[in-house]
Amino acid sequence: MVPGVNEPEVAKNITVVEWLKADLITSLSALYKSMLRGSEERLLDALSGIIVTCYVLGRRMGLTFSRIDVAVESKLRQGIEESHEVEKWYGDLTMLLTYLVDRKR
């Protein structure tokens, strides 16, 4: 046994990570189904579930929510600089980055 390592807590964290990975796949499946059925409520539920699961999974992997936010903003800036197709055609990345930055104020 490694000093300072609580084995039951490590095992519990591993179990939660596996559960979150499965939940992510389930939410992705729900997203695809909601896209086929055209239900806005189901679409919102699936998308929000994916986002929440990703944040919690990141936390279980040792990342803070704020660090994830910084990485998301960085990824958006990168997509804008590299003229990602979604940015070129619709400006979605700039809109999302602006939303996230304004929300912090």
Q: pLDDT digits over 65-92, tens only?
A: 999 999 999 999 999 999 999 999 999 9
Residues 94 and 30: their CA atoms lie apart, in Å, by: 27
**Backbone torsions φ then ψ of 19, nearest 5 degrees:** -65, -45
- Radius of gyration for the chain, computed over Cα atoms and rounded to the nearest angstrom: 18
Which tokens in the block code for residue 56? 């919690």
pLDDT digits (tens, 9 = 90+) for 11-69: 998 999 999 999 999 999 999 999 998 789 999 999 999 999 999 999 999 999 999 99
- pTM summary value: 0.86
Which tokens in the block code for residue 52? 């929440």
Residues 43 and 66: their CA atoms lie apart, in Å, by: 26
Amino acid at site 49: G
